[in-house]
Chains A and B, each alone.
Chain A
Amino acid sequence: MYDFNYHRPKSLADAAKLLGGSEEAKLVAGGMTLIPTLKQRLARPSDLVDLGGIGELKGIRREGNALVIGAMTPHAEVASSPEVKKAIPALAALAEGIGDPQVRNQGTIGGSIANADPAADYPAAVVGLGATVITNKRKIAADDFFKGLFETALQAGEIVTAVSFPIPEKAAYAKFPNPASRYAIVGVLVAKTGGGARVAVTGAGPSVFRLKAAEEALAKSWSAAALGGLKVPQTGLNSDIHASAEYRAHLVGVMAKRAVQAAG
């Protein structure tokens, strides 16, 4: 790790100020990706702004027909929250499957989505459930948030404060994990909403994406059978030592069907 200055602000405003104070400043939430990255010397921030001391970023609350999860809420809390289990059990189950217990104890939803790892689980939930990402500056619709490989719509100085998930009629997440890292080789979140169906895929491409063909089929008929003819093109999908694009494309179809079955 390279040397850096460490800050632990008590308020969001202070955090924003510190973040703006240096071009090379970086936020650390749970640190589950950032700390290993720093250890490998793959990043060299001048300043590290730790969001761990800001109470207002933590917690889960119901707001009307939405579940709002503070950016600094650890995965374990989402996984075990009675509120989440009741409102969006798929989200609790997804959180329960992230990383390992220690990662879930420390890793946060805000950190995960801001990092936008193409194989992370949360992006599938954010996009699949049509969530809204709330920052210190604005609200960003899920479809506009993830921009590519480790890329989001977040601007310099912008800090994710919460994610608001509208409560679907039904939803489920099916994941085929990488046997080594346990990240998603393919993860598919399906949701039935008043407006139709949403299907979001993580792990398979450079960034989370919606599977429109599957959404249309499911809007017509919410059943695994409706996805019977689904052909997922492998163009643009990831290919690495763990899975070829062809295999990923195939898994997207299988996981989508399984998610629909699980959602009931």
Chain B
Amino acid sequence: MPDTGIGARVLRKEDARFLTGRGNYTDDINRPNQTYAYILRSPHAHAKIKKLGIAKAAKAPGVVAVFTGADLASDKVNGLPCGWLVHNKDGTPMVEPSHPALVTDRVRHVGDQVAVVIAESRAQARDAAELIEVGYEELPAVVSIADALKPGAPLVWDQAAANTCYDWELGDKAANDAAFAKAAKVAKVDLVNNRLIPNAIEPRAAIGEYDATSGHYTLYTTSQNPHVIRLLMGAFVLGIPEHKLRVVAPDVGGGFGSKIYHYAEEAIVTWAARKVGRPIKWTAERSESFMSDCHGRDHVTHAELALDGNGKFLALKVLTKANLGAYLSTFAPCIPTYLYATLLAGNYATPTIYCSVRAVFTNTVPVDAYRGAGRPEATYVVERLVDEAARISGIDRAEIRRRNYIPRDKFPYQTPVALQYDIGDYHTTLDKVLKAGDYAGFEKRREEAKKRGRLRGLGIASYIEACGIAPSAVVGSLGARAGLYESAAVRVHPTGSVTVYTGSHSHGQGHETTFAQLVCSTLGVSLDNVDIVHGDTDKIPFGMGTYGSRSLAVGGSAMFNAMQKVIAKGKKIAAHLLEAAEADIEFANGEFRVAGTDKKKALAEVSLAAYVPHNYPAGLEPGLEEQAFYDPLNFTYPAGTYLSEVEIDPDTGALSVESFTAADDFGRIINPMIVEGQVHGGIAQGIGQALLEGCVYDGQGQLLTGSYLDYCMPRADNLPSFKVDTNVTACTHNPLGVKGCGEAGAIGAPACIMSAILDALRPLGVASLDMPATAEKIWRAVERAKTPKAA
């Protein structure tokens, strides 16, 4: 069925409801007799709470209840857990402070949760919150990494000396030093990876509900992984047995990592629903999102790349400091370590790599995974260094990459930073993008732009990512407190239609379509006869959800394996019905056939026999429904190379992105239309990071970019149309040969755009610039370059 199966540009099944306003997002849900919660948040970055008076608020019109951290404590509600333990260089564990859903004695960032008001309406809850009397004693705050590490800096946590959560390393330092000693040249960069605010357009929301007769809780929430929330909240925070807790993540309006984590508001509304005996809805206003959704990135790095006389890479050394914010969010510790340092080999055969990461606490919103998570940071470091290496050795930027790529005949390739890449073909991908982006014709365009008074630059960046997250045993040995397999249940109904229950979660990725195509191809049923169910812990098997470009590689593989079980059972039934040996039955195009004959039974005939087992194999269970859990054997390694061109107005520093060309290797592709869409979106976020987006706090920890008036989201007029192309090497270790495509654009684009800007400015002598490369920064760089250096 090529029209709807693997490889087809099938239009999305989910679009009909979204296009007609019939989506079902959390805030669209209303429960009978529901109340509304408003969270009172700290206006200070760091303060002691000397007094917390709720009496007036409790008496305000429409108020049902007001709760504080003391109420949670007296009910023995625990803090929000962290899901990953990282160890220091000396083997001791990281500092792991508590993370209360509502604070009791001290606030640690602007937006920290102080109290919750539950009322008959949103407006009344907010009105009443203004009547809560909080006596704050302000404490000095630390905001930036540099501030946090200054001798004598105020401490975010008394137990974290020098505000350090951990000081971690990867790689053989002695071997690295030795390699640097032999270098002909060393490229050096000092970089800031700017802090970002994820900004899924649907603000977070949660509805808690409790049924006293059964003791069942239900939480509707904007989550990428409802079972993870059920596990963390049920088992660790509220102590609710999992069979008494249902978590539903209905339609979710974008995640980008920010909706992976278990947030305080989820625990608060679930716990409080029982206290007040009514459902409670909480919906973030955007300004709350800015100060309560986890942020991303925020690194400061010094890195060096040792080269031999031919521009071959000998060794890479990376020294990074990472800001984790005030508390450890769910996956925070692993982002600047295991999802970052392990990717520093990039696409290159660099023989030795050493990375040290010091992670600090600051009085800012917690920082965790945001689209790409560690991998954009690694790519940025590596690719900025490669450009610098090209510059100091006088080698063309494409050529130095080609010269250092891991050759296609060296796979599987063991990197010096723990990962083993299973397959790749970076040279072909490079050739494709150079052609598609007309690399050869660039200088002409630069000259033409110059005539118009514009500085034109070409950017190039390769990237690799570790996706299909992740082999449980591997991540377990690295400190993960969870497995990262995925589940699927495939139910063939009596008349042959199919429902698949997946542990993956779709919040824009189009799983209802892509997964259905996989079913079409594998079971030979028509697209209309397949439904994909996700997002409800009462329906789906225990699954780990969607992030890290894992849904197809891990969730799809689970689905594929479950379908193989269906087929295996179907063969037994068909063999019986066709009076043939099971070994002689073949399954293809939805039909079980006796090999070499025209004797056959359609899937629907077999499924009917399975549910009406009058004439049925002895000893075989009725029904046709199978489940599989798939634990990947390795990460997958999507890789690609991007080209971009920018033009700069030297009078103002204003920049326009003139073109962007991507060539990616995602392995086998199920729906090219959806894959292209994922790449487009990732590129836009990457361009956003490079040019527009940057979270800014003032020295007191006040968030200056707390709304779209100040935090610059990429808009349609900031971007060109993109050219996207693919090169396919099939993943070797999952049954589908797929790798994942969700994060690629956001990983490769920032480095590519910065490469273009520096290329445009290099003729003026500008050697370095930090993201976001705003007009003023560019203008200043141009002005500085114009000013003759003092002798």
Please report A residues at the B interface, Cβ cutoff 8 Å. Answer: 1-3, 40-41, 176, 179-181, 241-244, 247, 250-251, 254
Contacts and interface: CB of A to CB of B under 8 A. Distances in A.
A156 B599 CA distance: 93
Among A3, A41, A181, A241, chain B packs the most CB atoms within 10 A around the CB of A241
A254 B710 contact: no
Interface in B108-135: 123, 126-127, 130
A181 B776 contact: no
A180 B709 contact: yes
A7 to B, nearest CB: 20
A244 B774 CA distance: 12
Nearest to A254: B651
6 contacts: A41-B130, A179-B718, A180-B692, A180-B708, A181-B709, A241-B704
Given A176-B654, A179-B692, A254-B651, A247 B713 contact: no
A180 B713 CA distance: 7
Contacts of A250: 779
A179 B710 contact: no
Given A176-B652, A176-B654, A250-B779, A241 B710 contact: yes
Interface string B664-697: 0000000000000000000000000000100010
B651 A179 contact: no
Contacts of A179: 692, 712, 718, 774-775
B632 to A, nearest CB: 40
A139 to B, nearest CB: 34
Contacts of A242: 710, 774, 776
Interface residues of B, number: 24
Nearest 7 CB-CB pairs, A to B? A180-B712, A181-B709, A247-B776, A179-B712, A254-B651, A241-B696, A241-B704
Nearest to B693: A180
B25 interface: no
A29 B668 CA distance: 57
Contacts of B780: 247
A247 B780 CA distance: 8
B287 interface: yes
A182 to B, nearest CB: 9
B666 to A, nearest CB: 32
A129 B779 CA distance: 31
B331 to A, nearest CB: 29
Interface in B641-674: 651-652, 654
B711 interface: yes
Contacts of A41: 126, 130
A254 B704 contact: no
Contacts of A1: 123
Contacts of A2: 127
B705 interface: yes
Contacts of B712: 179-180
A123 to B, nearest CB: 18
A1 B127 CA distance: 9
A82 to B, nearest CB: 26
A226 B652 CA distance: 19
Given A1-B123, A241-B705, 4 more contacts: A180-B692, A180-B709, A180-B713, A254-B652
A241 B194 CA distance: 14
A137 B74 CA distance: 64
Contacts of B718: 179
B452 to A, nearest CB: 14
A57 to B, nearest CB: 28
A181 B710 contact: yes
Given A40-B287, A241-B705, A251-B652, A180 B711 contact: yes
